[in-house]
């Protein structure tokens, strides 16, 4: 049987490799064996909320003391009638925040934005204000919400880690 030159060359390389291995020299290997190391430990979540809270508090403390948006109150004649039914302190991790339940017959996005501007000016001392709009004339119907942020700490507190979603200082949505 005739043999091709490539088969003969491969056979010679194999024989030389085996002979070299037998003679105590390092053999030729097409695949290098990877270096083995110990299995890394499984990362466990922080066991106490103080650790995550203190890191968030440090992040908030490192934010500059700037104000976001305008704090000018809208013309009182243009502000739809509303009443604050509930006010709950929501301070957390160094951010001064409050949650409001607001009763209003308003239903439009534009009306909620004017109310949000009024609340932003009234609660200017807070970093963040979250608002739930309802209408008690309609058996506590949910009509919308607003996230109002007055400082970078408030923006971060609301969960906007890449910056505010609006330079106005609030984000408002009417329920559909």
The per-residue pLDDT for range 49-95, each reduced to its tens digit, is 444 556 666 666 665 567 788 888 888 889 999 999 999 999 988 88
Show the domains of the chain with their CATH numbers: 62-174 (3.10.310)
Say which residues have a Cβ less than 8 Å from residue 115's Cβ, sequence separation at least 6.
79, 80, 82, 102, 104, 106, 131, 133, 146
* Percentage of residues of the chain with pLDDT beyond 70: 72
């Amino acid at each position: 049987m005739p043999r091709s030159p490539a088969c003969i060359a491969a056979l010679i390389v194999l024989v030389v490799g085996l002979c070299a291995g037998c003679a105590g020299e390092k053999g030729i290997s097409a695949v290098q064996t990877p270096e083995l190391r110990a299995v890394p430990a499984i990362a466990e979540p922080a066991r106490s909320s103080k650790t995550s809270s203190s890191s968030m508090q440090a992040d908030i403390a490192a934010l500059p003391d700037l104000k976001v948006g305008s704090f000018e109150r809208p013309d009182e004649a243009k502000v739809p009638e509303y009443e604050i039914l509930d006010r709950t302190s929501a301070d957390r991790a160094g951010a001064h925040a409050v949650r409001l339940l607001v009763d209003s017959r308003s239903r439009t996005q534009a009306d909620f934005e004017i109310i949000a501007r009024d609340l932003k000016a009234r609660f200017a001392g807070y970093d963040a204000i979250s608002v739930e709009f309802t209408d008690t004339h309609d058996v506590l119907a949910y009509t919308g919400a607003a996230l109002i942020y007055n400082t970078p700490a408030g923006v971060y507190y609301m969960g906007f880690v890449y910056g505010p979603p609006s330079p106005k200082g609030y984000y408002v949505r009417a329920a559909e």
